[in-house]
Structure 1
Amino acid sequence: MEPEKIKESIIRAAKELFRKYGYHKTSVNEIARKARMAKATIYKYFESKEQILDAILMNYLDLNLHEILKNKAQFANEEEHLTALVMKTCRLTYTVCNEFIGWDFVRENANSQDFLKHLSDQLESLLLSAYLELDHFKHNPSRKEGLAFLLKASKSICFSFAFTSVS
């Protein structure tokens, strides 16, 4: 089997198990069993379960990035468009935590803050580079700075509520 097909199989199995049982309750052994391959094969392609999750999330973000950026014409002005971009970014961030990671992992795992910081930094970088390709940001430094600030702020808001206790 081709290396890309093997990675896709691992990612597909892990995604299904993470959604069903949560990240924290899924083992690499279970991923290997679901993907119908040896545990050693998993580790040949991914150093850790966290790397598998990272690959899942980056694939998910890449796929959704095009949706976030399209349909600029439906907005009356740049302010409405930017507001919609920030809201979609927040929804995407929430979906990532809700569907793939699980809130229990976020609140209970000692490493989750570091992991979420890494994830949110990647998300911010990915979105910033994509947004800067839009015409109204390309040639205007002040808009670029404003966009960078808004992305950083929305990222912080989205991820900070993950650590708020729920009654």
Structure 2
Amino acid sequence: MNQEDVVFSIKKAARDLFRKYGYNKTSVNELVKQAHISKATFYKIFPSKEIILHEVLMDYIRENVEDILSTRVKEPDLATFLGKTILRVSRVTYTVCNEFVGWEFIRESTNAQEYLKTLSDDLEFLLLSSFIKNEAIGSTISEEKLTFLIKSSKNIVFSFAFTAVTEADVRKNFISFQKEILPYLVQATIA
């Protein structure tokens, strides 16, 4: 197997295992067994389990953001398109953290807090660059205003993810975000 195949195999194993068991309950031994590689090979490519987690999350989010931005549904105006896009991206981000990592682990682990900061910063950069590249958005809204919208939305979604106790709380928070907060953020962005 060449290095590209090994990386693909590790990422696939990580994606499957993290999704099935969560980050905390997946060991490097399980990753290497499912990827059919040695532990030494794993550590040669990914110095830690946290790094492979980050790669898997960012790949998943990148794919979904590209899909969301490339399949623009005919919306009546830029504000509606932007609002729906931010909401879809926020849901993807929440879902990926919930499915691959688990909010309980993130809330309880000191290491997870530092990792979440890195993920948050990388996510912000990914979203900003993707939105700027999008013809409908990047050509009409300044980078400064897009940064405001993305940072605000991301911070709100992460804050209610940390405070929600049940999935019903999360749904309620997303509805509140969609109806009570997001329209004002979008209007401030396009104004």
Q: Which amino acid aligns with 1:148?
A: T
Once the two structures are superposed, what CA deviation does each residue of 1:103-130 show, in whole Å capped at 9, x if it has no partner? 2211221111211111111111111111
Structure 2 counterparts to residues 72-87 of structure 1, below 5 A: 72=72, 74-87=74-87
Give the percent of matched residue pairs that are identical in Structure 1 and Structure 2: 48
* CA shift in 2, pair 1:73/1:15, >3 Å: closer
Equivalent in the alignment of 1:104: 104
* CA shift in 2, pair 1:75/1:163, >3 Å: same
Equivalent in the alignment of 2:172: none
Equivalent in the alignment of 2:60: 60
Equivalent in the alignment of 1:120: 120
Shift of residue 76, structure 1, vs aligned partner = 0.6
Shift of residue 138, structure 1, vs aligned partner = 3.7
In 2, Cα distance between the equivalents of 1:162 and 1:124? Answer: 17
Q: Which amino acid aligns with 1:163?
A: F
Shift of residue 71, structure 1, vs aligned partner = 3.5
Residues 28 and 39, structure 1, Cα contact 8 Å, conserved in 2: yes
Equivalent in the alignment of 1:23: 23
Structure 2 counterparts to residues 1-167 of structure 1, below 5 A: 1-72=1-72, 74-140=74-140, 143-164=142-163, 166=165
* CA shift in 2, pair 1:80/1:4, >3 Å: same
Residues 137 and 144, structure 1, Cα contact 8 Å, conserved in 2: no
Q: SS at the partner of 1:74?
A: coil
Q: Which moved more, 1:148-157 or 1:26-35?
A: 26-35
| Corresponding residue pairs, total | 166
CA RMSD for the aligned pairs?
Answer: 1.7
Q: Which moved more, 1:126-135 or 1:63-72?
A: 63-72
Shift of residue 144, structure 1, vs aligned partner = 2.7
* CA shift in 2, pair 1:138/1:104, >3 Å: closer
Equivalent in the alignment of 2:184: none
* CA shift in 2, pair 1:143/1:28, >3 Å: same
* CA shift in 2, pair 1:20/1:139, >3 Å: closer
* CA shift in 2, pair 1:21/1:136, >3 Å: closer
Q: TM-score, normalised by structure 2?
A: 0.80
Name stretches of at least 5 consecutive residues in structure 2 with no aligned partner: 167-191
In 2, Cα distance between the equivalents of 1:88 and 1:120? Answer: 17
